[in-house]
Amino acid sequence: MYKQYFFTTLAIALVTLLPLSTVNSESLDSQGQPTADKPATQSPAAEEKRLPLRELRLFTQVFEQIRRGYVDDVADTELLENAIAGLLLELDPHSVYLDETDYEELQENATGEYGGLGLEVGSERGMIKVIAPIDDSPAAKAGIEAGDLIVEVDGTPVRGMAVQKAIDKLRGEKGTSIDLTVLREGEEGPLDITVIRDTIQLSSVRSRIIEPGYGYVRVSQFQVSSGEDFKDALLSLREQEPALKGVIIDLRNNPGGLVPASVEIADAVLDSGTVVYTEGRLPSANTSFEANSGDLLQGTPIVVLINGGSASASEIVAGALQDHRRAAIIGTQSFGKGSVQTVIPLGDGRAVKLTTARYFTPNGRSIQAEGIVPDIIVEPAEIRRYEKRKQIREADLEGHLEQADSKKQKAKESEEDVTDDNQLYEALNVLKGFQLLGKRVLSEPETQN
């Protein structure tokens, strides 16, 4: 009798969580049953709003069967939490319930910040190998070097430990200390190093000059600081190469991230116009994002690299620059995630990530399940090197004259070999084609009328 009362009460409690407008569509008696005086017939609209009382009763019955008969004892709170997760499970692949751990990880990925040592690590011979310490990180300041093998963490051997588990051990709150025992080549014995954890900021943007006059910017995901980092990267490239001829923006395998960051990145190289707009059921989900005046590259040609791993915010950037004819898109068709998720905190360390809108490129294209089709399709190739038959050239002759222009020779020596990445190689060739075409157009004599 108690259990029956408990589950009837649970059904009523679930009803009270629904909007009042739907509760008022059907009256309930003290037992949670529909009253007999409801209208015999209802309009289709009223019928749609009616509470699904039969399904609510079915839910309480299933809940009771699991609670009473499942092979292992399961706490009521766990069952209800599973039920909440199930509400979102069948909506779409991106709407999910986030428990405390999932929500914390989502925030960490969005900000790029975590408490730790500032190490990039891998596994070698069952030990944790330091690939590189981040510049100015606690690990670098404590003397950890690339190539060190971490054999103990706080006195616990790490041999055979999975890399992710080791990373979890190395992370911790800012200000806490950790004792590492490392093996270093050239040292007679293990070294004991104490490191004080600090807040580590991981940048998702990297840049470099890959050839004189041509810059490269890699964006691995869209975090809170990615927009500012991207702008800094462009300014840095212009400082290194005042006569910048072209820039490659690499968005391959970028799964997306924060929409504002993607808008800021596209805005950095656009002078005006719509970047992206969203449409949803809620008024707040209907938004248009516009570019501000000012192109940081001042019209310098751009190539954007994408592939099947470029999704969401990556597709916002690629779609905006493609529609505005600001960049040539090269690579393979993108993933096709054209929906926007809103993270709704629940106030107790948990949250719901809910799909609330679809986004559209400036020309009104929805890329949901379609993706961005490149202007030039370049499939990734497996590069196999083979030995060519050596031919005798002037440089091989004894006593040959040296090249007169040493600057050209130095520039050639500073060029990066990008032939191992055929998509990047083709992107660079396209930029050179833009440069060559531009020169030819400028050199054409004006026609006389």
Task: Indicate whether 164 and 214 sit together in one domain.
Answer: no
Task: Indicate whether 197 and 209 sit together in one domain.
Answer: no
Q: Tell whether 337 is covered by a domain.
A: yes
Q: Tell whether 435 is covered by a domain.
A: no
The more confidently predicted of residues 348 and 9 is: 348
Task: Indicate whether 236 and 363 sit together in one domain.
Answer: yes
Indicate which CATH number applies to the domain containing 176: 2.30.42.10
31, 58 in Cβ contact below 8 A?
no
The long-range contacts involving 86-89, CB below 8 angstroms and separated by at least 24 positions, are 88/352, 88/354
Q: Tell whether 425 is covered by a domain.
A: no
Task: Indicate whether 170 and 215 sit together in one domain.
Answer: no
Task: Indicate whether 235 and 355 sit together in one domain.
Answer: yes
Instruction: For 105-114, write each residue's pLDDT tens digit.
Output: 899 888 988 8
Q: How far apart are CA 236 and CA 243, in angstroms?
A: 13
Instruction: For 360-402, write each residue's pLDDT tens digit.
Output: 999 999 989 899 999 999 999 876 655 555 566 667 667 767 6
Indicate which CATH number applies to the domain containing 290: 3.90.226.10
Instruction: For 263-300, write each residue's pLDDT tens digit.
Output: 999 999 999 999 999 999 999 999 999 999 999 999 99
Task: Indicate whether 155 and 277 sit together in one domain.
Answer: no
The long-range contacts involving 77-85, CB below 8 angstroms and separated by at least 24 positions, are 83/59
Task: Indicate whether 252 and 363 sit together in one domain.
Answer: yes
Which pLDDT score, from 0 to 100, does residue 439 have? 57
Taking the alpha carbons of 328, 331, 332, 333 in that order, is the dihedral positive or negative?
Answer: negative
In the chain, the number of structural domains is 3
User: Please, which residues have CB within 8 angstroms of residue 190's CB and are 6 or more apart in sequence?
Assistant: 151, 152, 181, 182, 183
Full residue range of the structural domain in which residue 72 is found: 2-36+47-101
Task: Indicate whether 93 and 213 sit together in one domain.
Answer: no
Q: Tell whether 324 is covered by a domain.
A: yes
Active site residue 43: no
Which one is catalytic: 323, 334, 339, 353? 323
DSSP codes joined into one string, 174-199: TT-EEEEEEE-TT-SS-EEEEEE-EE
Strand partners, 119: 133
Task: Indicate whether 323 and 262 sit together in one domain.
Answer: yes
CA atoms within 13 A on the CB side of 444: 9
Pick the last residue of a domain from 377, 395, 416. Answer: 377
Pick the last residue of a domain from 377, 405, 428. Answer: 377
Which one is catalytic: 95, 129, 204, 337? 337
Q: Per-residue pLDDT for 72 more than 70?
A: yes
Nearest to 415 by CA among 295, 241, 189: 241
Averaged pLDDT of the chain = 84
Which pLDDT score, from 0 to 100, does residue 211 have? 95
Which pLDDT score, from 0 to 100, does residue 222 have? 95
Q: Tell whether 407 is covered by a domain.
A: no
DSSP codes joined into one string, 384-408: ---PPPP---GGGSTTPPPPS-HHH
Task: Indicate whether 166 and 271 sit together in one domain.
Answer: no
Which pLDDT score, from 0 to 100, does residue 387 have? 54
Active site residue 312: yes
Active site residue 323: yes
Which one is catalytic: 312, 314, 334, 339? 312
Strand partners, 366: 360
Q: Tell whether 382 is covered by a domain.
A: no
Task: Indicate whether 174 and 267 sit together in one domain.
Answer: no
Q: How many other C-beta atoms can be found within 10 angstroms of the C-beta atom of residue 22? A: 14
Q: Which residue has 């190689």 as its token pair?
A: 425
Pick the last residue of a domain from 137, 166, 201. Answer: 201
Q: Tell whether 415 is covered by a domain.
A: no
